[in-house]
Structure 1
Amino acid sequence: MAGVGARSAAVGLASTLSWMLVSSALIIANKRVYSKGFAYPMFVTGVGQLASALGGLLLGWLSGKRSRSLPPLGWLVPTLGPMWGFTFLTMWLGNAAYLHLSVAFIQIFKAMTPAVTLVLAVIAGQERLTLPLLASVTLIALGTGGATFVETGAPSWSALGALFFVGSSFTEAARVVGSQRLMSAHHFTSVETLVYVSLPAAALLIGGSLVSEGTGPLLLLRGVAGALAPIQGELAYAAALSFLVNLTSFWAIGSTGSLTFKVAGCLKNLAVIWYSVAVSREHVSGAQLGGYLVSVAGFMLYTLAKSQPSGRAVAPAAGAEKAKAA
């Protein structure tokens, strides 16, 4: 049993670290696409979801493990439908925020998502609310709130961008909690989750872009090759990263649990902030960094709380063996 626990912990650590690396790279890649004037977040994320679904199908074929047959619509729509909607809203709202806010500030803002995830995980019965757990997540949220308050007076502040990102935080938390339930209650592997969630989400995102973002007329007038020519290299790179981000995120959620997965993202955000300040020369004030350090302190307390028996999840991180096999 100890050996199984150690292997599960190793799988969780490897998958989380992999997700942290590729998701940081994807943030920067998407920002580069937008900086070239292709300001269509639905289309960009839709291409990423399509690449994820196709990559999942290819991975299943190469491994010789076919995904389960398509379930009947009566089961499929109520079970996976919310996941499609949450993924669509998360990708659209989250990427739209990058058109209005700096990369560095968004990473500071992201520290609020563990608090949202905790609430949803408790409601879903995946976490047991304890005082140390509540205190740690509250610290994370307070640090974010302080950084947000400081940013409201900065030139890079946008109320619309903040509204987009708050919305994406709620839908992302719901998506992560739903993914854990999909892999625990319905025994989906990470690859099956990738295929069955990403393909419908891609259709929603690309379809929404054609209608609401005006990419339909753009592609008709210039042709797909002509419209994408200026950013085709960056878009292909971002799509490949999107596949890796989705795969490793489902792998990590199945191995560690939804709340631990979102809290680990706080450390990833610190690396993106450093990159934004050191390489992209974005401005982050001392007060903003101080707020983020409070959030990191909350993360450390969270790690301690989760190491205690009373802070463990009610529904253990499910699907670790299936995720490993996938």
Structure 2
Amino acid sequence: MSSSNDTTEDKREPLMSDNRDDPILPVSNVPTPTRPTIPSAAYVIVWIALSGSVILFNKKILDKEKGLNFPFPIFLTTWHLVFATIMTQVLARTSSLLDGLKTVKMTGKVYLRAVVPIGFFFSLSLICSNQAYLYLSVSFIQMLKATTPVAVLLAGWALGKDRPTSKTFGNVSIIVLGVVIASYGEIKFVMVGFIFQALGVAFEATRLAMVEKLLNSPEYKMDPLVSLYYFAPVCAAMNFVIFLSLEASTITLDDIFRVGPFVLVINALVAFALNVSVVFLIGKTSSLVLTLCGVLKDILLVIISVAWIHDPVKPLQIFGYSIALGGLVYYKLGADKIKEHYGRLSKEGALRWNEYGTKYPAYRKAAVFGVCAFFVLVIFFSYSNAGTAEISGQVDAVVRAGVNHIHSKRGLETVMSFF
């Protein structure tokens, strides 16, 4: 009996060490939890939200009629660049976001030959673009920005980076045609604002073409945050000189405190966060996604400016802008890629849509109804704003005519009666 028990005990696996002094370690079969990854869609949403917020925020600060009436865009741009200079210096010393500085072989010669002239055009681009917000609506500015690829192409041809071809010229002509139609339908067209925006696009295109030409080698490749590290101090200095010559004599501390230092800090922080989000978006997605996100962002900004800021937009502008966006996507991607991605996305989208309709039929009907109602409201607002602008223009004309008649009749007595 005892021998059988001994045999049984010998076949058992030892549960603990024979040495009583050894520690008994618990064994767990629970797998180590993996760190959750952030989906790419989150980076897209954050970038679109920040990009739109910067534009709307700047418009809110600079606008005289619907904003804070701070007509000093050069000061605002200079402040953004000073803030960016400080933040990039801090991040370079406290984080890994600017580790790309280690791979850039920056010398004094390269800095003077490439960074300074590129920073000069970057500074002019920012100044002119912000000046346009004093005169034009957000929706119209976004429509004019659709010509940026055309301007980049022309600047590349001028710098000898690319050779002009009839096919490329035909593609970009579609974009130009759409923007011309949109400009023709603009209700609040101001020539000064249009010129500022056109100059902003031209300077930005020159900057981008110079970046591709001068900093195209692998040792000078920079992500957007590293570029900001090098360009922000140069642009801040140039903007400050322009500010001293154009705006310093008119701006006062009362103007700054009317807006509020806290608002200015938040505004600069949002603008800097946009540059950080671009780094993550490029790292987690592709250039195709970035292009499509830019188009989507512009469309959403036009819709928001119509529905929220009540910018008047005519159907002719929507038609022209649609042509420009279609030409932009075709120019960026090409026919082959459009067909490829359209076929893949249409199949996957139809499959997901059918699955969603099978599981949640009521929600799918509600979604279709909500999208249709949204576009109906946008069209309604565009028509109503256009009619309001036209009526208000007629009323202003009648009032001005009446005032001129009174002034011509009563002369100095009418003028003195206002006092």
**Normalised-by-shorter TM-score class:** 0.7 to 0.9
- Where does residue 139 of structure 1 map in the other structure? 174
- The one-character-per-residue Cα deviations of 1:96-141 (angstroms, maximum 9, x if unpaired) are 0111111111111111111112233456677686666544432222
Q: Which structure has the highest helix share of the two?
A: 1
| Aligned partner (choices 41, 44, 50) of residue 22 of structure 1 | 50
How far is 1:16 from its partner?
6.8
- Where does residue 288 of structure 1 map in the other structure? 317
SS at match of 2:311: coil
Q: Counterparts in 2 of 1:29-178, with a 5 A limit? A: 29-34=57-62, 35-64=67-96, 67=101, 71-121=106-156, 133-151=168-186, 154=187, 156-178=188-210
How far is 1:75 from its partner?
2.9
SS at match of 2:147: helix
SS at match of 2:185: helix
1:253 and 1:80 map into 2 onto residues whose CA distance is 22
Q: TM-score, normalised by structure 1?
A: 0.75
Conservation of the 8 A alpha-carbon contact between 2:306 and 2:312:
yes
Of residues 85-94 and 296-305 in structure 1, the stretch that sits farther from structure 2 once superposed is 296-305
- Where does residue 244 of structure 2 map in the other structure? 210
Conservation of the 8 A alpha-carbon contact between 1:133 and 1:306:
no
1:196 lines up with 2:224 in the alignment = no
1:86 and 1:262 map into 2 onto residues whose CA distance is 23
Q: Letter of the aligned partner of 1:26 in structure 2?
A: V
Conservation of the 8 A alpha-carbon contact between 2:114 and 2:215:
no
Q: Letter of the aligned partner of 2:273 in structure 1?
A: L
Aligned length: 289
- The one-character-per-residue Cα deviations of 1:210-269 (angstroms, maximum 9, x if unpaired) are 32113x5645xx3xxx54222133322221122133344577789867x99678534322
Conservation of the 8 A alpha-carbon contact between 1:136 and 1:301:
yes
Q: Letter of the aligned partner of 2:52 in structure 1?
A: S
Of residues 203-212 and 89-98 in structure 1, the stretch that sits farther from structure 2 once superposed is 203-212
- Where does residue 4 of structure 1 map in the other structure? none
Aligned pair in 2 of structure 1 residues 139, 253: CA closer, same or farther (>3 Å)? farther
Asked which structure has the greater CA Rg, the reply is 2
Conservation of the 8 A alpha-carbon contact between 1:46 and 1:206:
yes
2:335 and 2:95 map into 1 onto residues whose CA distance is 35
1:252 and 1:178 map into 2 onto residues whose CA distance is 23
Aligned pair in 2 of structure 1 residues 58, 109: CA closer, same or farther (>3 Å)? same
Of residues 192-201 and 293-302 in structure 1, the stretch that sits farther from structure 2 once superposed is 293-302
- The one-character-per-residue Cα deviations of 1:120-166 (angstroms, maximum 9, x if unpaired) are 34566776866665444322221011111222xx3x21111111111
Conservation of the 8 A alpha-carbon contact between 1:116 and 1:170:
yes
Aligned pair in 2 of structure 1 residues 296, 23: CA closer, same or farther (>3 Å)? same
- Where does residue 184 of structure 1 map in the other structure? 216
Conservation of the 8 A alpha-carbon contact between 1:56 and 1:195:
yes
Aligned pair in 2 of structure 1 residues 73, 180: CA closer, same or farther (>3 Å)? same
1:230 lines up with 2:230 in the alignment = no
Q: Counterparts in 2 of 1:229-248, with a 5 A limit? A: 229-232=257-260, 233-248=262-277
Q: Structure 1: 5+ residue runs without aligned partners?
A: 1-9, 309-326
1:280 and 1:267 map into 2 onto residues whose CA distance is 19
Aligned pair in 2 of structure 1 residues 137, 177: CA closer, same or farther (>3 Å)? same
2:116 and 2:210 map into 1 onto residues whose CA distance is 11
Of residues 261-270 and 110-119 in structure 1, the stretch that sits farther from structure 2 once superposed is 261-270
Conservation of the 8 A alpha-carbon contact between 1:52 and 1:244:
no
- Where does residue 316 of structure 1 map in the other structure? none
1:306 and 1:85 map into 2 onto residues whose CA distance is 36
Of residues 48-57 and 276-285 in structure 1, the stretch that sits farther from structure 2 once superposed is 48-57
Query: % of aligned pairs identical?
Result: 25
2:106 and 2:208 map into 1 onto residues whose CA distance is 22
Q: Letter of the aligned partner of 1:159 in structure 2?
A: M
Q: Letter of the aligned partner of 2:54 in structure 1?
A: L
Conservation of the 8 A alpha-carbon contact between 2:281 and 2:290:
yes
SS at match of 1:184: coil
Q: TM-score, normalised by structure 2?
A: 0.60
